[in-house]
């Protein structure tokens, strides 16, 4: 009987959810899934195209459905899109899961995302938008998180190591 993912990663754009998630999944020898990737496969177009063609509300509905299903079907590490926590129903279903918030500051997030056109909410004034997103979402990340890991000033290997130390059974992978 599947009880869902071993771990769910949340955080702002540029926090390293996908990069760290892949590395942690590899260390644990479990599957990795990214909610945005799942949505893109199902929709047959990119997240940016969904925002442009269908609007943010249509994307958020797809995101909610995808995450709810992934929380049942996933067996490894699941990374959520940065805005997934905006949905109250998604925050509710995250209860009972091991959710790690990858915390990132404005400077590091700006450096990491740059002028990435695949992130539709960050087009234009990237730094200003990130500040607004972090202000809006930080309390929501805090609400759903079982634990948090700061990512500023450390490389992905160290972030993954810190995540592995937190999750149940993860310390065995670190010591191997």
pLDDT at 118: 45
Buried b (16+ CB within 10 A) or exposed e, 3-33: ebbbbbbbbbbbbbbebbbbbbbebbebebb
Class of domain 7-170: alpha beta
Q: Distance (Å, rounded) from C-alpha 75 to C-alpha 136?
A: 30
pLDDT at 120 over 60: no
pLDDT in tens, 92-117: 999 989 999 998 876 565 555 554 44
Share of the chain above pLDDT 70, in %: 81
> Against a cut of 0.75, is the pTM above it?
yes
Q: Give me the mean pLDDT over the 73-81 stretch.
A: 94
pLDDT at 176 over 50: no
pLDDT in tens, 8-60: 999 988 788 999 999 999 999 999 999 999 999 999 999 888 988 998 899 99
Which position has the higher pLDDT, 119 or 155? 155
pLDDT at 116: 46
Q: Distance (Å, rounded) from C-alpha 71 to C-alpha 176?
A: 28
pLDDT in tens, 134-145: 888 999 999 999
Report the largest interatomic distance among the alpha carbons of the chain, rounded to a whole angstrom: 47
Which phi and psi (to 5°) does residue 110 adopt?
-60, -45
The domain segmentation of the chain, as residue ranges, is 7-170
Q: In Å, how far are 2, 29, 53, 77, 161 from 26, measured between CA atoms? A: 20, 5, 35, 9, 12
């Amino acid at each position: 009987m599947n009880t869902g993912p071993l771990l769910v990663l949340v955080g702002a754009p540029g926090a390293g959810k996908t990069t760290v998630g892949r590395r942690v999944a590899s260390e644990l020898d479990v599957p990795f899934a990214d909610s945005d990737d799942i949505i893109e496969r199902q929709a047959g177009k990119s997240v940016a195209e969904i925002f442009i063609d269908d609007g943010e509300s249509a994307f958020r509905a797809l995101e909610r459905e995808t995450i709810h299903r992934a929380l049942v079907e996933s067996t490894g590490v699941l990374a959520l899109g940065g805005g997934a926590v905006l949905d109250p129903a998604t925050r509710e279903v995250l209860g009972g899961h091991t959710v790690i918030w990858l915390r990132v500051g404005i400077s590091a997030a700006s450096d990491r995302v740059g002028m990435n056109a695949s992130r539709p909410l960050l087009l234009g004034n990237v730094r200003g938008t990130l500040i607004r997103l972090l202000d809006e979402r930080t309390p929501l990340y805090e609400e759903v998180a079982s634990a948090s890991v700061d990512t500023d000033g450390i490389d992905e290997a160290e972030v993954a190591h810190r995540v592995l130390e937190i999750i149940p059974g993860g310390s065995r992978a670190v010591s191997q």
